[in-house]
Amino acid sequence: MRLLLIEPSLNHHETLLALIAHAQAQPDPIEVFVAAPSLYQSLYTSLDEVRRYFSLSDSLEEMMTWVQEEKIELVLHNTAYGRLTLRLSRLLKGLPQIGIVHDTAKLHQLSFMGWSIAWHLSGFFVLREKLYRNLPGIWRSKAHVLHLTDLPASLWARLPTLHKPNHEKWIAIPGRVELKRRAYLDLIQALPPASKMPAWRFLLLGPAEAPYSDWKTVAFHLRDRGILSYFQVFPQGLSFRDYHAYLRACDAVLPLIHPSTPYFKKYLQYQITGAFSSAFTHRKPLLLHSAFADEEDLRDASFFYSTPSELIELLHALPTKPLYEKPFWEQSKQTLGNLLREVRGRA
């Protein structure tokens, strides 16, 4: 099977990497082709698992010629939303197409773009069980749950090894530094003063100086508390290798999604934060607000707290209950393979 993965934006490339890994885990051979912005050309051309790469900086007419020349049999839209995806879904209508809906709110409301793209798809994935359960019935019949749980083997092999002092505890907080998404100030106010701070290091893995970043505000509060040195930031962000190296080395992943944040309801009902998938991939414990405790997939990966003070208690002594024991972490790879074969069989 010759599978084309398309990601037109600068986002969701962790998702695309997981799809590449899941495709290579199938019992039947799958040749993977990738179309993405030119910024990511070096990443995808460096992966042994990617047969060919097409830069979306080139014209769509050239892409259609390329698709025909490469004898692509099936298309997976890594982000099933946006003007370019809508145009591509129409241009590629002669091929079976599936996709990932990252924001299911588009299917709960009358969204011309969201509905138009979804109609072109033979099936689509959502990345969390609750997102599937909450879908309107008309869309649930086309949807499947896919947990992202791996990286391409060639990328794993190239991850640098980081030295983490034995006495330190590293807590990863993925994503851009945005107060509307993550409750940094709740954490800062609950942390002990510098004179009593344990050997904790909080890794803010998103680009601190990205557009619309709130790092200056967060840094002001950290300096005011005298604990800035306990937070490690990366002004321009990290390469995928370094990003995943830090995740591999950390002790836990902290999404900081609290009821106090403006995006709380979206993450609770309609979206998945990349912090979840990052923890799933590296089998790291999630430290998660108890609002998410009714979800089986998150329960199997998380320790929960209700207040910032309870979070601090978790940080002092992470519990040792077994995590990632449910079979669905491995079954997701079968889910991808089953849908690919089903859709191809109907073509």
Residue with tokens 């991808």: 336
At 50, give phi and psi (nearest 5°): -100, 120
Q: Identify whether the C-beta of residue 339 lies closer than 8 Å to the C-beta of residue 98.
A: yes
Mean pLDDT of all residues in 292-318: 95
Predicted confidence (pLDDT) per residue in 295-306, tens digit: 999 999 999 999
Using CA atoms, how far apart are residues 258 and 240, in angstroms rounded to an integer? 27
Q: Is the predicted pLDDT of residue 347 greater than 70, yes or no?
A: no
Level-2 CATH architecture, domain 159-271+286-316: 3-Layer(aba) Sandwich (3.40)
User: Coil, strand or helix: which one is 332?
Assistant: helix
Mean pLDDT of all residues in 109-132: 89
Predicted confidence (pLDDT) per residue in 30-87, tens digit: 999 999 999 999 999 999 999 999 999 878 999 999 999 999 999 999 999 999 999 9
Q: Identify whether the C-beta of residue 121 lies closer than 8 Å to the C-beta of residue 89.
A: yes
What pLDDT does 112 receive?
Answer: 84
Name residue 34's beta-bridge partners.
Answer: 5, 53
Written as six digits, the tokens of 3 are: 């599978």
**Helices and strands (H, E) in the chain, number of each type:** 17, 13
Closest CA to 292 of 166, 130, 181, 176: 130
State what percent of residues in the chain have pLDDT above 70: 100
Written as six digits, the tokens of 276 are: 């979840």
Predicted confidence (pLDDT) per residue in 178-202, tens digit: 999 999 999 999 999 999 999 999 9
CATH T-level assignment (fold) for domain 2-155+329-346: Rossmann fold (3.40.50)
What pLDDT does 314 receive?
Answer: 95
What is residue 134's DSSP assignment?
T
Listed in order, the ranges of the chain carrying CATH 3.40.50.2000 are 2-155+329-346, 159-271+286-316
pLDDT band at 203 (very low <50, low <70, confident <90, very high): very high
